[in-house]
Structure 1
Amino acid sequence: MEVQYRIEDQILLSSLNQSYGIQAESIHFIPMGDSAYSYRVECANGDRFYLKLFDHQNDRQRKSVEKLTCYLPLNWSMVHQNLFPNISCPIKTVAGDYQTTCNAITIVLFTFIEGETLAEAYPFTEEILAEIAKSVAAIHRITPSIDHSLLLTETYDLSFDRDLEMCLSLLENPLTVADPIKQALREQVGSNKEQILAMLKRVRHLRSLAIAQNKEKVLCHGDLWGGNLIRHQNKLYVIDWESSVIAPPEYDLAGYIGEAFEVFFSAYEEQMGSSMTINPDLLRFYSYRHHLRNLTNWLMNILFRNTEQAQNENDLDMIVHHCMNRWDHIEPSVEIVETFLMKRSSR
């Protein structure tokens, strides 16, 4: 979130100290993400924690709260069973819970990972790509060791499509777009309605193909972009596991299609210890779904959820510069992967 939640710091600090038995003395807002509010917590003894705050009045964040019971126990077991320790681990309350609730918000506390995210490191060097690929493979390889009942299994969900179609219809109504941000939204998104609907039709078809294939599934992080990767002391840490799911490996690989895929995939296979079969249509499905789902979320924010103009401006920027400008790159990027796979199979 770009604008912090409206609550007094002292109320948050008091709740943290009571629920977690810590000595938090200051809290600092971190403008990032959109499924929760983020903070750094500083304690009197020098300890640091990462805090996520979820607003129950925000339907997007309510849905994120529902996922906590899945991925927080998973993260705990990954660290304490030494399956994949390079993550931000949830801290349990004094009552032994993974979260606490007060004043219509849910709070989760995590270990704080020092270092910088890779959000500003694009384009990644070959060294970083190989490092990420090995981490992805390490995550996939622990699948037999985790409790699958903790996680959802991929259903190739497209339930956001109704909200997307509703938002596109609203943008055609002049009464909906009275303010400048919504007018800009209408000009940027509404004018591309045909392309969006064509993409939606395409992803529905790809979903049918994916269900028919019924490919073997592994533990996937589900959102392995640079902002969820932190480098510290030559180690790579993977944070924000909200999207984790048992799914085909293509779910995590789709973010690295294009010119860099050969470097990424070679390192991935090396870490997996065997040759892997990749389905380009699954890469297409996850690429289209990712952008359409993000578009829907930001549209819903601007049209229904946001209460701050600064947040609207941020979300409009995300639509234009981190979503729409990437649509035309999906097919060429998948075709590069297909060419690579064909050349490899002919060797």
Structure 2
Amino acid sequence: MEIMVILSQEHPELPSAELKSVLRSEGIEFSLIEDGRGYVILDAPSSTWKILKGRLAYAHEICRVMGYSTTGGIEGTAEKIDWKSHIKGSFAVRIKKLRGEVDARELERGLGAIIKNKTGARVDLENPWTLVRPVLIDDRFILTLRLAEISKDHFNKARPHRRPFFYPGSMSPKLARCMVNLAGVRSGDRLLDPFCGTGGILIEAGLMDVRVMGADIDWRMVEGTRKNLQHYGITDFEVIRSDARDLRLEGGVDAIVTDPPYGISASTAGERSEKLYREFLNSAYSNLKEDGVICMAAPHYIDLEGLIDDRFTVREKYSMRMHRSLTRIIRVIETV
């Protein structure tokens, strides 16, 4: 089945990278048809959308592709589609403009009339059972049916200041979810955040049925993370007080996802970032299973490549500007 994922445009690369990582980690066979600005079209099993709906952070909608047309030929394309096999109950037509301009209202009326004539289905503009979603990209349409809308409720409710335990400087739940996905974990895998802070990364991983373990040098963070995980109904977790540089885990972990503290502060126990990162990477190697992955954020002024030895290789690297004085660099690092 051809599936179109309408992506967030908050970042030029992360949304597409996150999507592909989830597909690979879930073992979904797919072929890429188009990888464009703000969308991806792929050929994948029909059940794929259900998995993507529950995991993606930087996506808006998942749709089934019904046809392709020029802007002027969309009604002719719609006439050729067997809508009766796909539309159950009521329907509505709503055009999504990624790029380009058309008279959306006029086209929606015309397409609605064609579909109603072919199916006898009732039009319901308020709460349709099926949403016909023509997507405009420059001078063409991708004619689709919406399978799922990615809810943003969780990301709003899980903002750091809305958790039972809050501490300034916590990562947004959306970026935390994306980093967990970039690490390529799946249900049942074991994930470690050795600088867990208030537990944002662990929350996102735990909600995807990943077994999570956190550590922090500050007891306040350890206790606060436990409280936050329990608040979101996550039960399969372990959070301990430990220095990330001296952590030794029995059995190892499939992935380490983390956002180490920046600069010299109480959270780094007075250590400079470069020394802290170097010693953390040494500890991380001993705690990762074979083929384990690290996904970590670091400020732009840290030359992480200069700290990484020949036991690791940087597979992916993304820049995310946070504000005038800070750009986060997200790296996916593999063991060699």
Do they fold alike, i.e. is TM over 0.5? no
Would you tell me which structure has more strand in proportion to its own residues?
2
Would you tell me which structure has more helix in proportion to its own residues?
1
Larger radius of gyration between Structure 1 and Structure 2: 2
Instruction: Tell me the TM-score range normalised by the shorter chain.
Output: under 0.3
Greater relative CO (CA pairs within 8 A, separation 6+): 1
TM (normalized to structure 1)? 0.25
TM (normalized to structure 2)? 0.26
